[in-house]
Amino acid sequence: MGLSAVTVLGVDRPGVIAAVTGSLADCGANIQDSTMTLLGGHVAMMLLVSGDLDSAELLKHLCAPDLVVTASAIEAQRHFCEEGGGLGYVLTVHGPDRPGIISAISAVLAADRGNITGMSTRLTGRLYVLIADVELPKEVDVAALMRRLAAVGASLDSEITFRPVEPDLL
C-alpha cells in the first residue's frame, strides 16, 4: 500500500468535504491523518491517504472544476518526539496584527528544538490570536524558554502564554 499527501483548496460550500472524502472511499483509499479548516472563506484540507492507487490515479478521482487538488507520494515518518518522549505544551499569543509574529515565535521554539505540531491563527478586528501545540525535548529548560518567549512577546506588544498540556484533556 502506498502513502500519498493530498491537499484540497476551494471556495467553502456545503458538501465539499463529503465529496472529497467520498471520492477517496469510492476508490478504496483510507484517510490515515487529516486536518481541515476554513481560511478566509475557503476550505483547506490536508490528508495522508493510503491505498492501492498511486498519487496520479488518486488525483484523477479527486479532480473537480472548483477545487485545487494536489497528490504526492510520500514515505511514512516517525513523529519527532516519539523517539525521546517529548513534552507537550500549548502556546497562545494575543496582540496587534503585524508581519513577523509567527516567524519570531517559531524561531524561539526552534532554537530549543521545539516542534510546532499544530497551529491556528485568526485576525479578529485588530486583535491577532495564535494558538499552537508544541512538543519539546525533555531536556529543555522550560523556564528559560518562557523568559525568551516573554521577551519576544514584549517586542511584538503581545501577550504570550505557554503552559503544559493537561493529560486528562487529551
57 and 126 part of one domain: no
Instruction: Give the residue from 43, 74, 105 where a domain finishes.
Output: 74
**Which residues fall within 8 angstroms of residue 66, CB to CB, at 6 or more apart?**
10, 11
36 and 98 part of one domain: no
d(CA 107, CA 13): 36
Strand duo 87-96 + 115-124: pairing: unpaired
| The total number of structural domains that make up the chain | 2
Answer for the pair 75, 127: CB distance below 8 angstroms, yes or no. no
Instruction: Give the residue from 74, 96, 127 where a domain finishes.
Output: 74
92 and 62 part of one domain: no
Specify the CATH number for the domain of residue 50: 3.30.70.260
Query: Which grid cell is 142?
Result: 522550560
6 and 57 part of one domain: yes
Give the three-class secondary structure for 72: strand
Which range marks the domain in which residue 150 is found? 87-164
Grid cell 525521546 is found at: 84
pTM for this entry: 0.80
Tens of pLDDT, residue by residue, the chain (170 residues): 789 999 999 999 999 999 999 999 999 999 999 999 999 899 999 999 999 998 999 988 887 888 999 999 998 876 555 555 678 999 999 999 999 999 999 999 999 999 999 999 999 899 999 999 999 999 999 999 999 999 999 999 999 999 999 876 54
